[in-house]
Amino acid sequence: MFNGLIVAALAFLPGEVDAPKPATLARTLAFRADVVYRGDGTSIDDGVILVKEGVITQVGSGLEIPEGAAIVDHDGAISAGLIALHSEDGAGAELYDSTRIVLAEAEARHAFAPEHADFDRALAAGITALVLAPSSSSLIGGQSAVVKTSGGRVVKPAAQLALSLSRDALHTNRFPTSYAGAIEELERRFGEPEGPVARAASGSLPVLIDVNDRAETLRAIGFAQRFGLKGALYGSYWAEEIAPQIAGSGLDVICTPFDVGDDSRSARAVVALAKEGVRLGFGLDAPERHPGSLRFGAAACVRAGLETAKARKALTGDAAAIAGVAGRIGRVARGLDADLVLWSGDPVALTSSIQAVYVDGELVHGGSK
Amino acid sequence: MLPLLQLTLAVTTPACAAPLAPYGLGTEPPVKFAVYADVVYTGTGSKYENAMVVLADGKIAAITPGVEAGDGDVHVAAITPGMVDLSAHIWAGGNSVEETEEVTPAFRVAGTLDPFSRDWDRQLKHGVTTVVANPYDNNCIGGLSVALKTGGAPTIEARTVKADVALRGAMGTQPSSKNHPAAGRPTDFYSRRPTTRMGVEWTWRKAMYDALQAEGDEERAFDGLPELLRALDGDLPVFVQAWATQDIRTAIFLKEEMAREGKPGMRLIIDAGAEAWREIDLVVRTKAAVVLPPFTESGRTTDGAFFAADCAAKLHEKGVPLALSSHNARTVGTYLEHQAAYARRGGLEFDAALAAVTINPARMVGIDDRVGSIEVGKDGDLALWNGTPFELTSRVVGVVLEGELIEDPRGE
């Protein structure tokens, strides 16, 4: 089943921007499901999704199905493909360049192998797109890329400028060794007149700021506010007590990946952020973590009190918005890519299983042709 | 009620006459409340028996002796000022110094601290209400220290008592410990001077002479020059870690050399001066202040320095401005309250021991206008004790920080 896919994937250069989609069924594809989660927090019972040439053409209840359409009748739920907002699939150590503290021009889209098995594992977990982000070990690690997990095509090349105010960026054998040194260097770089950093300073390139603890988070917020930066913080574990300050910063938050056995603090932090109205998505950091942990993390938050609709949104529509690709993926809506996951039940219920995954209208995992 | 003895600056009669509402944890602090003790020690040598300290708007409003506490009032055996530790464990470790260069006088440690660290609360619960955070001593001249309250809103801004209270640095082995000579090509920035005590001393002198030569010469200005000049002029105390005799001597000789070069105003505070007892005459001659490290069982401390049990007593006897500290330690028995007890065992008299953990350190870094003693108008920072302070059976059971009851002794 995957042979054809791999051939199709290899036909495209890695890192190519907005490459043409693989040949898709010319005829219309019609999905019928008990419930369609649209990715914006709403859902449609007995929903119908019409797809043509890889793009969603219509979504609704009781839609008329065009003659000759191939029908996929699904006894369960359909959601948009899940989006992981911070990961290293197919790239691993290639996203970590220790030779410089500032590598603003480096682009994650050049780092990954599109046919890597990491992507198959992501697809099997319902993840149809992810953000490959440069390592937090550099003050400015480079630019992240939004990549589809089927065929490894790049949806958005320079999605964010990755900054790190975490202690990972403070080395013991090169400048800076201190938080104050890190801030000083970032301030110097953000005065540059052109280049990716200047684009970030002007707000046209969102930032992705890696943080760990509360002090690092507040330091990052202070920096972002001084320079009027737009974007997201990556790291939520310690956010509970400072959720109001985070909300006040206008930055989105990409939640720290969850591990089995995490204490409840990680989930409580996400609940507190949601309560403050912070837009949320989930990080993954595969292959270090299993792609399935993306959905487990969301479920852990629901168990701690996060509304299920918000959890689903954080995995899909809000994640796309944080990555700057809301016009292309993340929702089940007209004009968006037909990246769909067919579930036995609610995506954030751990009892639900994935039965099929479609990317650009193509069946890429599970199901039956 | 016993007859009220009005102090010179004490509160007006109505406030004393009107019963003050009982006030406990979890309730909004009233505008005004009082804590009572069998003895109130002011930190500046006075004591008042059966006294109350009245707090209003975060400040000390009155000290009134000869009063009795009512039912439900906060009443303890003794009240002292909240303690002041100039070398406390409030730092971000290796990330609280910029090691790229050995001399970073303009570096501010304030930007590296974690207001959410549990270190703050540990200090506060043990009666330390003000600390000075210093750049970690991996640099010869690390940068600017900051004086902070140990409680309150968790931001460095909110807790700052005074920024840039001292220029921090170190003698001894620590600043050179990570450096190494370049064997062939340098591998990282630690392939540099200094690698010995000689080199540390050289680095200090070079920084000072660079500053002397650049004074008033714009072309020779460098990063950190203003801070070095402020230090040379005595505007910023120079707070130097020096455990062992030779390091204490180096610091003192440096100050004396600068005096000969036309800068007599430099103010030297020796930190962790375990062997200051060996060079008391030099310390006295140069008018240096000394902050002592935590006492140890064997007397052995860092850099091989022997910390004699009577060091504090001897320094006090000679009139050396003296403070005790926990010096970055946080094991049981190293808190400031215990250091004063050890100093007492070594012969330091009570008033001097109390001053060494309150008003003396506050004076050394110029924050005694706000903290360090119980005086009307100063910050309402108090340590409440269940017995005579610094006795082995006594401990801090309550804390008032800026007029707010942080630790309630009534729960004991």
For residue range B262-285, list pLDDT tens digits in order. Answer: 999 999 999 999 999 999 999 999
Q: Taking CB atoms and an 8 Å cutoff, what residues of chain A touch B94?
A: 170, 172, 177
Give the pLDDT confidence score for residue B174 in this predicted structure.
87
pLDDT(A331) > 70: yes
pLDDT at position A4 is: 42
Q: How far is A296 from chain B (nearest CA, A)?
A: 29
Query: Measured between alpha carbons, how far is B412 from B406 in angstroms, rounded to an integer?
Result: 14
Closest listed residue to residue A238, CA positions, set A183, A181, A290, A166? A166
| B2 domain-assigned | no
The pLDDT of residue B25 is above 60: no
Statement to judge: residues B104 and B66 lie in one domain: no
Residues of A in contact with B178 (CB under 8 A): 172
> Is the CB of A285 inside 8 Å of chain B's CB atoms?
no
Average pLDDT over residues A349-366: 95
Same structural domain, B127 and B35: no
Give chain A positions within 8 Å (CB) of B113. 215
Contact A93, A138 (CB under 8 A): no
**CATH code, residues A2-81+331-366:** 2.30.40.10
The predicted pLDDT at position A71 comes to: 95
Residues B179 and B280 in one domain: yes
Same domain, B63 and B102: no
Report pLDDT digits (tens) over B363-410: 999 999 999 999 999 999 999 999 999 998 999 999 999 999 999 998
pLDDT value at residue B204:
96
- Answer yes or no: do A176 and B100 touch at CB < 8 A: yes
Range from A21-25, B9-13, B244-248 that averages highest in pLDDT: B244-248
Lowest mean pLDDT among A75-84, A124-133, A152-161, B93-102: B93-102
pLDDT over 90 percentage in chain A: 83
Mean pLDDT (whole number) for B355-359: 98
Is residue B182 domain-shared with residue B194, that is, in the same domain?
Answer: yes
CB contact under 8 A, B116 and A215: yes
| Number of domains composing chain B | 2
Closest chain B C-alpha to A196 CA, distance in angstroms: 26
Distance between CA B179 and CA B190 in Å, rounded?
4
Average pLDDT of span B81-96: 86
Question: B359 and B244 in one domain?
Answer: yes
How do residues B27-37 score in pLDDT, each as one tens digit?
A: 555 668 899 99
Pairing of strands A354-359, A362-366: antiparallel
Interface test with B, best of A174, A177, A178 (most B CBs within 10 A): A178
Residue B7 pLDDT greater than 60, yes or no? no
Please report which confidence band the pLDDT of residue A359 belongs to, taking 50, 70 and 90 as the band edges: very high
* Cα distance between residue B63 and residue B55, in whole Å: 9
Instruction: Give one DSSP letter per residue of B77-127, joined into a string.
Output: EEEEEPEEETT-S-S-GGGGS-TTSSB-TT-BGGGG--TT-THHHHHHHTT
Residues of chain A with Cβ-Cβ distance to B92 below 8 Å are: 178-179, 215
Identify whether residues B76 and B88 lie together within a single domain: no
Contacts of B111 in chain A (CB under 8 A): 179-180, 183, 219
Instruction: Give residue-wise pLDDT tens across range A78-96.
Output: 999 999 999 999 998 899 8
Mean pLDDT of chain A: 91
Residue range(s) of every CATH 2.30.40.10 domain in chain A:
2-81+331-366
**pLDDT of the residue at A2:** 43
Whether residue B49 has pLDDT greater than 70: yes
Residues B319 and B217 in one domain: yes
Least confident stretch, A42-46, B20-24, B327-331: B20-24
Specify the CATH number for the domain of residue B160.
3.20.20.140
B268 occurs within a structural domain? yes
- Tens digits of residue pLDDT in B364-373: 999 999 999 9
Min Cα distance B94 → chain A (Å) is 7
pLDDT at B176: 84
Predicted confidence band of residue B89 (pLDDT cuts 50, 70, 90): confident
CATH 3.20.20.140 in chain A: give the residue spans: 82-323
**Average pLDDT of span A125-149:** 96
Domain boundary among B364, B383, B401: B364
Tell me, yes or no, whether B5 lies in a domain.
no
Measured CA to CA, the distance from residue A272 to residue A293 in angstroms comes to: 21
Which of A177, A238, A241 minimises the CB distance to B100?
A: A177
Residue A16 has pLDDT above 90, yes or no: no
The DSSP string of B299-311 is SB-GGG-B--TTH
Q: DSSP characters for A146-206?
A: EEESSTT-EEESS--EEEE-SGGG--SSSS--SHHHHHHHHHHHTT-SSSHHHHHHHTSS-
Confidence category of residue B187, pLDDT binned at 50, 70, 90: confident
Q: Which residues constitute the domain of residue B354?
A: 84-364
B99, B108, B113 member nearest A215 (Cβ): B113
Domain of residue B44, CATH code: 2.30.40.10
Read off the pLDDT of each residue in A196-210 and give the average, rounded to a whole number: 97
B4 domain-assigned: no
| Position B128 in a domain | yes
Q: Which CATH superfamily is domain A82-323 in?
A: Metal-dependent hydrolases (3.20.20.140)
Residue pointed to by tokens 């590598």: A103
Same domain, B341 and B385: no
Chain A nearest C-alpha distance from B200 (Å)? 19
Q: Is B369 part of any domain?
A: no
Q: Are residues B146 and B37 in the same domain?
A: no
The tokens 């109205």 sit on which residue?
A277
Does B3 score more than 70 pLDDT? no
Say what the pLDDT of residue A13 is.
44
- Cβ-Cβ contacts under 8 Å, B95 against chain A: 167, 170, 177-179
> Which domain-ending residue is among B346, B364, B382?
B364
Mean per-residue pLDDT for B184-189?
73
For A180, the closest of B98, B117, B189 (CB atoms) is: B98
Chain B residue at shortest CA distance from A167: B95
If asked whether residues B27 and B129 sit together in one domain, one would say no
Q: Enumerate chain B positions whose Cβ falls within 8 A of a Cβ in A.
A: 92, 94-100, 107-109, 111-117, 154-155, 178, 187-190
